[in-house]
Structure 1
């Protein structure tokens, strides 16, 4: 039975989440549509540009993303408390960047800003929305849908009505979700190795990597500069490279012997890592974490259990 998103993620709650937004039409979001032969590859740039803007406006940190043919993945950390620290002028400026006046002139921007700041109720609502996951996904999906419908010369839904959201309960769940998202193109057969992971957060990290950078702590690819995980960039990239060899068809490596040492920080048995990472997509549903984490969320939702409890027990 479908439940309100607020039951799983109460408004104002901080946390890290894995979100999936899917296209509802057979026409592709991006890539080449095998039915019509049309290329929509340029739309991947739309999504990445929109994500960059949202990261500058919302109280978030983007840890991973992947733009696929007909859906997109996002691992995002919400920091609603950060929005509470912004001045009214900062909140108004960020809100108007998201929803600019139709005229688009400096005078129109100034009028809209002044009107917003003069209304405490609207200011409070805007501040809360800049730390809200549903508003983040709305501000990501709607402009892309309008642009795609204009380009396709059609009307109607472009995205599915609801996006999928998973609560990532601990660092191990966050790391598994990030690797799942970054390696999505390889599992889908769209890329052969890390060098071909275009339009993903892995590509962003690889593009800016240097010898010194690999020693730095892993940071978000966009948004607030909160520490992502207690590992270094080089360790994460090494983990991606090793995991890619395990998930690519016909390219099995020696899991027990060659697993990166960083895995020991998160799992005493590295041979379970690939199963843990793959379970993000099919083993879990509303939340990813330990058995107790899932049972507590189930209780809050008024359920006896939550999909993924069995997987969590096997991987414990």
Structure 2
């Protein structure tokens, strides 16, 4: 009997948001191996950083935006949104360049330079361009590119093989014009570390979009070259997550904090877009704080005696731009 497809078939030509999740195989903590298993092969949180670096690269080349994420030890949550008008605006050459950023031309020895006229032939092939454009706008392809990259990289680290992810990803479409379900999904995702008891306050959760929006995440840096006889860690670099997340309303943190990064890459999929009109960082933080104080069966919650989150992170009644200025200058609050 054919296996039932648990992923919705979605039309990449239609705007859509989804809450996507995927567990590691057998719910093992494969994204967070124990220290004794790492040895000297990989730094702490290397696998989560590797996943986020790949996610950033996919955002840079696809028409799919990331609104929220949480990378846990044994599973992943994402809130994604497709913007088809972005993909349809690409020229045939842009489609080729974006695809080659993910899949460079190769031979048996590895990446290779294109032969004379090879790229021009691909750009002129209307069928290839149309099929590739669709892949760069497709949720299933986006998740395949993310999951496969992480699985292959971790198997290389462990010098092993086998399934890394527990089957196909699960996707729940978010279909509410007013954005209530969208915001609820984002809050749920950002509160995963708190609900799991990994931190005492939402803003202290690691590897979440909330951490990135507050400027508290510390990006990875390329690893030093290692001897060939040792299992090398993958070299990668990612920007702060706030630089590739869709911004909240108000001042776009990318415009001040990441001007150099913006000039060097196409990491902003749709300039000027925000998560939801009127949803500022302050409002979102208040929602996160309110939900974190609710008692939920089997989930940890915030101590109700704690001060409001705006006081805890240093965002008072002053204009929001002051908060972003603190982020940019590295204030202890952020």
Specify if TM > 0.5.
yes
Counterpart CA distance in 2 for 1:27 and 1:207 is 30
**Which of 141, 157, 167 lines up with 1:135 in the alignment?**
141
How far residue 15 of structure 1 moved from its aligned partner, in angstroms, is: 0.4
Residue of structure 1 equivalent to 2:18? 17
Work out the CA distance in 1 between the residues paired with 2:207 and 2:118.
34
**Alpha-carbon contact 1:246-1:252 (below 8 Å) kept:** no
Query: SS in structure 1 opposite 2:143?
Result: helix
- The answer for the alignment partner of 2:323 in structure 1 is none
- Greater CA deviation, 119-128 or 222-231? 222-231
Residue 31 of structure 1: CA displacement? 2.2
- Distance of 1:41 and 1:244 partners within structure 2: 25
Aligned to 1:55: 59
Map 1:121-200 to 2 at 5 A. Answer: 121-170=127-176, 171-200=179-208
* Alignment partners' CA distance in 2, 1:137 and 1:250: 31
Which has the higher mean CA deviation after the structures are superposed, 235-244 or 16-25? 235-244
Kindly state the Cα deviation for residue 160 of structure 1 after the two structures are TM-superposed: 2.0
What is the TM-score with the length of structure 2 in the denominator? Answer: 0.66
Residue segments in structure 1 that go unaligned for 5+ positions in a row: 261-316
Instruction: Report matched runs for 1:252-271 at 5 Å.
Output: 253=304
Tell me the residue number matched to 1:104. Answer: 111
Taking only aligned residues, the RMSD between alpha carbons, in angstroms, comes to 3.3
Q: Structure 2: how far apart are the matches of 1:31 and 1:259?
A: 28
Partner of 1:85: 89
Structure (1 or 2) with the greater helix fraction: 1
Alpha-carbon deviations, 1:7-58, whole Å to 9, x = none? Answer: 4x23433200010122115652322449968786210100110111011000
CA distance in 2, matches of 1:6, 1:215: 30
Contact kept? 2:18, 2:81, Cα under 8 Å: yes
Q: 1:104 to 1:31 in 2, by over 3 A?
A: same
Q: For the structure 1 residues 116 and 235, does the alpha-carbon distance in structure 2 shift closer, same or farther, using more than 3 Å as the test?
A: same
> What is the CA-CA distance between 1:61 and the residue it aligns to?
1.5
Given candidates 266, 270, 294, the residue that maps to 1:224 is 270
Report what 1:249 is aligned to.
Answer: 300
- Asked if 1:239 corresponds to 2:283, the answer is no
Q: Is the 8 A contact 2:248 2:276 kept in 1?
A: no
SS in 2 for 1:5: coil
Q: Distance in 1 between matches of 2:162 and 2:116?
A: 34
Partner of 1:307: none
Cα distance in structure 1, aligned partners of 2:215 and 2:268: 14
Distance 1:31 1:5 in 2: 26
For normalisation by structure 1, the TM-score amounts to: 0.70
Counterpart contact for 2:63–2:82, Cα < 8 Å: yes
Distance 1:128 1:92 in 2: 12
Find the aligned partners of 1:207 and 1:197 in 2 and give their Cα distance.
Answer: 12
* Structure 1 pair 183–227 and aligned structure 2 pair: CA distance change class (3 A): same
| 1:66-98: CA deviation from partner (whole Å, max 9, x where unpaired) | 110011111010112321111111111111001
- Shift in Å at residue 157 of structure 1? 1.6
Change (3 A) 1:188 1:113: farther
User: How many residue pairs are counted as aligned between the two chains?
Assistant: 252
Q: Is the 8 A contact 1:214 1:234 kept in 2?
A: no
For structure 2, which runs of at least 5 residues remain unmatched after alignment?
A: 217-241, 255-266, 311-334
- The whole-number CA distance in structure 1 between the counterparts of 2:155 and 2:29 is 12
Whether contact under 8 Å (2:70, 2:192) holds in the other structure is yes
